[in-house]
Amino acid sequence: MVTFSLEEYSISIYTGEPPVILDHYLKHALFVDDKGLANDGTAVHIIIATRFPHEQYVIIAFRSFPVDCAGFHPNLLYENTSQTLFIGAGTVVKVFNIADKRIVFEKDAGVGFLGWNKYKNYIVQQEELTVGIFDLQGKQLWQTDVEPPYNLDFDGDILSLKFNDKVERRLLENGILT
């Protein structure tokens, strides 16, 4: 389990076993998304807590694979201005708006999720075989296929993807090749 604090939130990530006090979290939960627990794979529980003025929780739970192996570790990115949490683990990708308590986006990442990065007003989602671009509110703007190993580079509002001995230059806002 790993816990970290972001402003008024405390966010905990559990992989494998659920939290020991899951019943307590469920009793005080404002939002629960656990439909993915019926899937095969390693259990991942993300608990978003606020403690003031009283305890309240958001629970996002699912099963996925691969988790915690071959570079596919759970990865979160919090975008403060929109209060949006970008979640990836194994083959699961979810985007959750904390203020509105709703899932904004979700998908199956296919082979496996690698990580999130923020560049200017964009969130970059990296998977084994796909790169996706989101706005700060969690709307996916576009995605494209890649082949590992690949590299990303930014030049102004252009994303350069290098793979298979070629370079693709795409506009960040819409993915159009330049």
Q: Find the angle CA(107)-CA(132)-CA(152) to the nearest 5 degrees.
A: 145
pLDDT value for 54: 82
Q: Is residue 83 part of a domain?
A: yes
Q: Is residue 134 part of a domain?
A: yes
Mean pLDDT, range 137-159, rounded to an integer:
97
Label residue 9 by pLDDT band (50, 70, 90). Answer: very high
Q: Strand 75-79's sheet: what is its strand order?
A: 75-79, 84-89, 92-97, 102-108
Q: Is residue 50 part of a domain?
A: yes
Tell me the DSSP string of 96-141. EETTTTEEEEEEE-TT-EEEEEEETTEEEEEESSEEEEEETTS-EE
Q: What is the pLDDT of residues 22-75, one digit of tens each?
A: 999 999 999 999 999 999 999 999 999 997 878 899 999 999 999 988 889 999
Res 137 pLDDT > 90: yes
Residue from 142, 85, 160, 77 nearest 114 by CA: 77
Q: Is residue 178 part of a domain?
A: no
Could you list the residue range(s) of the whole structural domain that residue 31 is in?
Answer: 2-171
Q: Is residue 79 part of a domain?
A: yes
Q: Is residue 135 part of a domain?
A: yes
**Helix H or strand E segment including 47:** strand 42-50
The amino acid at residue 56 is: Q
Token pair 């030049």 in the structure block, residue: 155
Q: Is residue 177 part of a domain?
A: no
pLDDT value for 7: 85
CATH assignment at residue 29: 2.40.10.480
Domains of the chain: total: 1
Q: Is residue 176 part of a domain?
A: no
